Amino acid sequence: MGAGHGHKLHYHGHSPVHRAPAHAKVLALLGFMLLVVATPRGWYPAYAVYLLLLVAVVAVSRVPATYLLKRMVVEVPFVVFAVLMPFIATGPRVDVLGVAVSAGGLAAAWALLVKGTLGVLASLTLAATTEPRDLLAGLERLRVPSLLVQIMGFMVRYLDVVTDEMRRMRVARESRGFNARDVRHWPVLARSAGALFIRSYERGERVHLAMLSRGYTGTMPPLHTAEHREHR
């Protein structure tokens, strides 16, 4: 299946981190995040320890660092905001490389940057080492309400379908000479987004019909014997 196989965030492997039960990984991530967020921003050595811990987990999982770093671009908007903060914030000034910046802003930027980066890296590690459906099974074992897990399951299932639809709409737009270059083109994009929303909504209706046709009554029935689950 080549590049299309597997989820885009998932890195196939058989390391101990990959094999660890999904619910344990979710709990570990949650605990780690709470710890990071709760740590006062002045405790620099603590952050070094967190980072080392995370790097150790990544090393054990054998997910290449470049793989994770590339996917860390989602953090860019936060980085931009963090970089701006020392310049925008008010209060006493300090000199950094000869530029006067706000001391409070600088500290806040540091906290945002370090906590955000640790969080994104930890989440990406979880995503890289856990198949989406194992993750869902893990959430189920953690007694997350079944309706929420079902909704997330549908999201995982239909993400590719909707992305593909979006891509086809873009190709169709561009094939008719459209190219979104400036603000004047935004109405077209907005209409496309609206059409995509309606299409997805209609698909939701059709999926529901198909579920009803197979006897769905509102709760997801158990689909596996314990034995089959272990085989996977």
Partner 1 sequence: MSTPVLDVRALAFAYPDGHQALYGVDLHVHRGERVALLGPNGAGKTTLVLHLNGILGGGTGSVAVSGLPVTKQNVAEVRRRVGVVFQDPDDQLFMGSVHDDVAFGPANLGLRGEVLERRVRDALDLVGMADYADRPPHHLSFGQRRRVAVATVLAMEPEILVLDEPSSNLDPASRRELAEILTSLDVTVLMVTHDLPYAYELCPRSVVLSDGVIVADGSTYDVLTDEPLMAAHRLELPFGFDPRTVRARAAG
Judged by CB under 8 A, the chain residues 118 through 137 that form the site for partner 1 are: 132-133, 136
Identified binder of partner 1 from the candidate list 5, 19, 176, 184, rule CB under 8 A: 5
| Residues 6 or more apart in contact with residue 192 via CB below 8 angstroms | 169, 170, 173
Give the x-and-dash track for 49-78 against partner 1 (CB under 8 A): ------------------------------
Residues in the interface with partner 1 (CB under 8 A) total: 32
Identify residue 222 by its one-letter amino acid code.
Answer: P
Is 83 within 8 Å of 109 (Cβ atoms)? yes
Strand partners, 102: 93
Of 91 and 204, CB closest to partner 1: 204
Integer Cα distance of 29 and 119 in angstroms: 9
Identified binder of partner 1 from the candidate list 30, 72, 171, 212, rule CB under 8 A: 212
Is 8 a binding residue for partner 1 by CB under 8 A? The answer is no
Integer Cα distance of 196 and 222 in angstroms: 33
> Interface with partner 1 by CB under 8 A: which range of 37-45, 56-64, 70-78, 156-164?
156-164
| Residues 6 or more apart in contact with residue 112 via CB below 8 angstroms | 78, 81, 82, 85
Residues near partner 1, by CB under 8 A = 1, 4-5, 132-133, 136, 153-154, 156-158, 160-161, 203, 206-207, 209-217, 221-225, 228, 232
